[in-house]
Chain A
Amino acid sequence: MRSKPFLEVKNLNVAFPTRDGLVQASNEISFTVARGETLAVVGESGSGKSVTSLAIMGLHDRKRTQISGEAFLNLESGPVDVISADEEVVRKLRGKAMSMIFQDPMSALHPYYSIENQLVEAWSLYNEGSKEDGKKRAIEMLDLVGIPDAKKRVEEFPHQFSGGMRQRVMIAMALINNPSLLIADEPTTALDVTVQSQILQLIRDMQKEFNMALILITHDLGVVAEVADRVNVMYAGKIVENGGAEDIYYRPDHPYSIGLLNSIPKIGELESKRLVAIPGQPPSLINLPQGCSFRARCSFSDRVPNNLCATTAPSLDEKSSDHFSRCHLTEAELVEARKEIGGK
């Protein structure tokens, strides 16, 4: 079975006070990731994927964000809750115990400093040694992430690299201190399709190489099927479904996931159909409606008795073995729903 998780998130809430009210960006988030495991987080824009991971990294401005709950990193020295820990403690975990790569590699590297400068800077934060040692390590890392002629290119500047190459540099920089957790926030979204699979493959290779816990944030369900061990499906700031990748892909247990999977066009379908979409839009995160957030877009809520969907928010329940869903429908009803939508 699974080893003791490296990251344990328990009931994490992130909210931003704004003029219009409190934005509940992520709500009651609980999940775990072990070393060597890949957790994919899927959901549409604004569903709280990035907000959650930025909270774990401690990258929200604490003055302007309300964060509650716990997120433990199980370090060798013992567990540390990065939510309640001192800012300075969390800072010293960043880049060392946990690293993050971002969506847009074009803007994530400082345009004024050479690759060498930026890599050595990250290295020397946690390593004693001369600049030459740092440079050697930087070249090693660039080699590892597949940058040709690393010895020469290390001295170049970000604008001399293509998008894919820059993302490789970002990965090299994130991994230079051998972190135990890597959060990749849509790492391939800004890249060409042909480069996407290369970068994805690289991230998987690196995960094996460093035996890291990996959180992969994406809205590309193809990516999920390819690399994930477990999946969190997020909707309106909450995890609506959590389970093994196969379970979620073949036996989705939440009307939202069912709709999401059904909206993927299938190659080889004989008749040309219109793309299937989930009707409606996600609710505003300010003053979320009572009950289930997905209710307004759900085609099955009328099957739940007593108007329960409108009055009570469902909890994340285990519908089948190790497969959780935030829905009032029973497993049997969900299987039925799956068939109905799939058969359309």
Chain B
Amino acid sequence: MSVFGIFAVLPVDPAALTCGKTCTPTIIEANRHRLGLDVPVQVQYGRFLKGMVVGRHYGEGAAEFKCPAPAFGYSFNRHECVTKLIGDAFPITFSLAIGAFILWISIGIGLGIVAARNKNQWQDRLATAFVLIGTSLPTFIVGILILLFVALKFHLLNPLDLGRWISPYQDPVGWFKLFIFPWIVLALLFAATYTRFTRSNIIETSSEDYIRTARAKGLPERDILRKHTLRAALAPIATIAGLDFAGLLGGAIITETIFDLPGLGRLSLKAVLQDYDLPTILATTILAATFVVVANLLVDIAYAYLDPRVRVA
């Protein structure tokens, strides 16, 4: 709603943007009417809400077209229903997010465990070096370096595939090849943070009294780590992982831009910078916010499962 409000007061006339410089006031007015922008803001908002539930019709007669529910509006720059634009972009963003997520969780937590188990030895120092590099190199540098000097140089990625969407159902190998580098780039930063976090959490948990109790029981070290230390050390990481993943689902702007992946991040970036494509911005914002809210809820539920102390009596 607040996003809607911001656009209502923006000093940009969306109707004027629907056609180029040759526009005449008459056409603008006609378009304004067709897009339903000629009624008061509160009515527009009402229609917008209604459209999400039942779909939306624009125009009359021969020029009539329909956006099926849930309709987020009509992108007057791209001449498409926003829902369709999002539907096209979402699989790309999802592919990117899920692959990177799996990669960074396995690398981050794995490396964190190794570092904690070999505290202050060479494994730990190597992991610390990785963390330092991973967190201090910005994504746009790593991304470009990997794209130019690895992916394209060694012909691991066909430049013609950039900007396309390859479905994993039709061409799994092509899909994998298209996404593996973006995954690495995106995972690098997160993996570094998760390594550091896992390491310090394990070391901290290891000095807890209940770990000493587990040892006094006669449990083997392997079981102590697996059952007692990791359970307590990783619970907070699960929380952050859920939120990070949800954040990515809203679009990874930099990575998508570097690798020319037409995902949600690129969609919103273009909508904001080039087109003033208000319905699209509105939709991507709502979507990203929804992901975060839903993820928060899921994380809270998961946490209650992980930590009995937060369970409601």
A interface residues, Cβ below 8 angstroms from B: 57, 59, 91-96, 99-100, 102, 104, 107-114, 121-122, 125-126, 157, 159, 170, 173-174
Contacts and interface: CB of A to CB of B under 8 A. Distances in A.
A224 B208 CA distance: 29
B278 to A, nearest CB: 48
Nearest to B307: A112
Interface centre among A104, A108, A114 (most CB of B within 10 A): A108
Given A107-B210, A111-B232, A99 B216 contact: yes
Contact of A59 (B210, B215, B307): B215
A172 to B, nearest CB: 12
B235 interface: yes
Nearest to B229: A110
A108 B212 CA distance: 8
A95 B232 CA distance: 23
B224 to A, nearest CB: 10
Given A59-B215, A94-B218, A111-B307, 17 more contacts: A57-B216, A94-B215, A95-B218, A102-B212, A107-B208, A107-B209, A107-B210, A108-B212, A110-B210, A110-B213, A111-B232, A112-B231, A112-B307, A121-B227, A122-B217, A125-B218, A157-B309
A100 B216 CA distance: 7
A112 B213 CA distance: 14
B308 A114 contact: yes
Contact of B214 (A93, A110, A170): A110
A321 B219 CA distance: 43
B105 interface: no
B117 interface: no
9 contacts: A91-B219, A91-B220, A95-B217, A96-B218, A102-B216, A109-B213, A112-B235, A157-B308, A170-B213
Nearest to B220: A91
Nearest to B228: A110
B306 interface: yes
Contact of B308 (A100, A104, A112): A112
B309 A159 contact: yes
B213 A125 contact: no
Contacts of A173: 213, 217
A107 B309 CA distance: 13
B215 A102 contact: no
Contacts of B216: 57, 59, 94-95, 99-100, 102, 174
Nearest to A109: B210
Contacts of B208: 107
Given A110-B213, A112-B308, A114-B308, A121 B218 contact: no
Contacts of A100: 216
Nearest to A104: B209
Interface centre among B219, B228, B232, B308 (most CB of A within 10 A): B308
Interface centre among B208, B209, B220 (most CB of A within 10 A): B209
The dominant DSSP class at the B interface is helix
B307 A125 contact: no
B232 A110 contact: yes
Contacts of B213: 102, 108-110, 170, 173
Interface string B143-155: 0000000000000
A125 B217 contact: yes
Interface string B228-244: 10011001000000000
Contacts of A108: 209-210, 212-213
A154 to B, nearest CB: 14
Contacts of A102: 209, 212-213, 216
A56 to B, nearest CB: 11
Interface centre among B218, B220, B227, B307 (most CB of A within 10 A): B218
A108 B228 CA distance: 12
Contacts of B217: 94-95, 121-122, 125, 173
Contact of B219 (A109, A112, A121): A121
Contacts of B309: 111, 157, 159
Given A108-B210, A109-B210, A112-B307, A91 B232 contact: no
A110 B210 CA distance: 5
Nearest to B232: A112
Interface centre among B210, B212, B307 (most CB of A within 10 A): B210
Contacts of A107: 208-210
Nearest to A100: B216
A173 B216 CA distance: 10
Contacts of A111: 210, 232, 307-309
Interface in B182-237: 208-210, 212-220, 227-228, 231-232, 235
A104 B219 CA distance: 20
Nearest to B210: A110
A83 B303 CA distance: 42
Contacts of B228: 110
Nearest to A87: B221
A125 B224 CA distance: 13
Contacts of B307: 111-112
Nearest to B308: A157
A57 B215 CA distance: 10
Contacts of B212: 59, 102, 108
Contacts of B220: 91
Nearest to A94: B218
B210 A126 contact: no
A107 B209 CA distance: 6
Nearest to A159: B309
Interface centre among A59, A95, A104, A173 (most CB of B within 10 A): A95
